[in-house]
Structure 1
Amino acid sequence: MQTTDAISRGPPDPALKQHASCRPKRHASCLLTATQWQHAADGEWLDANFQLGSGFADHRRGRVREWRMARAATPDLAAAKAVVDQHTSLPTFTPPGPPFDAAKCMAGKKILTIPVSSANPFTKNIAIAMTQVAKQIGFQVVEWENQARPTQWVQGIEFAINNKFDAIDLLGGTNPAVLGPQIADAHKAGLQVFTSHLYETIQKPDPSVDLSLAIPYHSVGELLANWVTLKTDGKVDALIIGSDEIIPTAPFVKGITTTLEKRLWPAV
């Protein structure tokens, strides 16, 4: 499933009058708040190419969503700049807990990491970094190479069990919800199973895993939205292309779109 969000600006559309009777309570496709409807009535334009502001079209390879909204006359550039400035300086590291001897703790341990796909540069580079850091500390991380086929994920878990690994990392999209029986077998064999770079910090992980190393994807989306607002002087013309089947896509995209709403339509 593919999700495409378009945030743009354009000339007034005569279709606005044609859909004047459409209200959110009467038509689910019209996703405009009462305040936004009032802005439209006051003369601000709405691109109505896709069912007046929101449209959904089914395609063979997924769903494409086009979103058009009115743009405020004065975007909140100061707020966007404050966020960007905050993240362009080196952060201060605050230890999450007391120090411990990582080399002693991990001596002789083996972790098998199963990325969603070895062809995905995002997860591939994470797996490479994991193996490099493991060598520095003194334990073993092995990547289970695959092409995003669940049957290959199953084989990876079986490999970890048969070769007496200590833990399995489901990395960056490998969904534990489709691996229930295999994860149960791993637990019976004494392995721990955890996810990394999969769930957002506000999402509840699948109960089958022992641990979730979550990422604040929503905050990353907010930062991207503030950056593009600042770089374009509030004249954003952006296209967001994502994969709906990847668990953190929804909060990531929401972080972008909600922040753009606040920055580009601060009065709404």
Structure 2
Amino acid sequence: MAPPESTFVDTSEGISTLLSSIPIPDQTSTPSIFIDLEGVDLCRTGSISILQLFISTIPHIYIIDIHTLGNIAFTTPSSTNASVTLKSILEDPTIPVVFYDIRSDNDALYHHFSIQISNVIDLQLYELATRDGFISSRRFLHGLSKAILANAGLSAAEAVRMDHVKQRGLQLFAPEKGGSYEVFNRRPLPDELLEYCVQDVQYLPVLLRNFKQRLGRMDRRWMERIRAETEARIALCRRDSFPKGRQNALAPRAFQNFFR
């Protein structure tokens, strides 16, 4: 799968233009807005550097420079509709936005920009609910890369390229590989990180389609559990502190109990 075209957005004019290209869906539409964030200690105690916005119906990926634009990225209106901003889209209960693990992204958006995301599809929970295998294989959550390799139907060549892009990015920002997350604030953003940012969202529509097909054949109670856990994840931003560490890799208790 070739990556979609992408644009780096670091001006208010660029924000206005990209917002005018987003089709505002109705409640029966297939979700078309896919988002990921990069930053330094990405939660309330850190900062947001980049927001990746994939509009799958175009298709186009916008790499939005939050480090440079700050609140302007979220409050600048569309060039065709003054009532539409990135903040209004994220907070609109009728517009689904798709993430893979909403927790730290939501915590950062809420505490740094007072954004209260409303209608979230969290693909990490979809992956857990639809994962094949014994109960013991579902005790832990999977990261995005593992989910893509297992569920996106990549060819051998695509899997090799994906790993190559991932490793080049990790070498720049992962402390255990000698990198630093501060590199996401370097301008111009290194090409290796641009590729990494694009890759983090380009496969999300494929995952959504495949997971929804599987869920359609499963017990309806799974969707109820996914919705409840998604709301619980969103509510984490209102706690006194944001949970970190190995506990975040554990499957939700309600999911584990249901497997039994």
Could you tell me the TM-score, scaled by structure 2's length? 0.24
Q: Which has the larger radius of gyration?
A: 1
Bigger share in helix: 2
- TM-score if structure 1 supplies the norm length? 0.23
Greater strand fraction, Structure 1 or Structure 2: 1
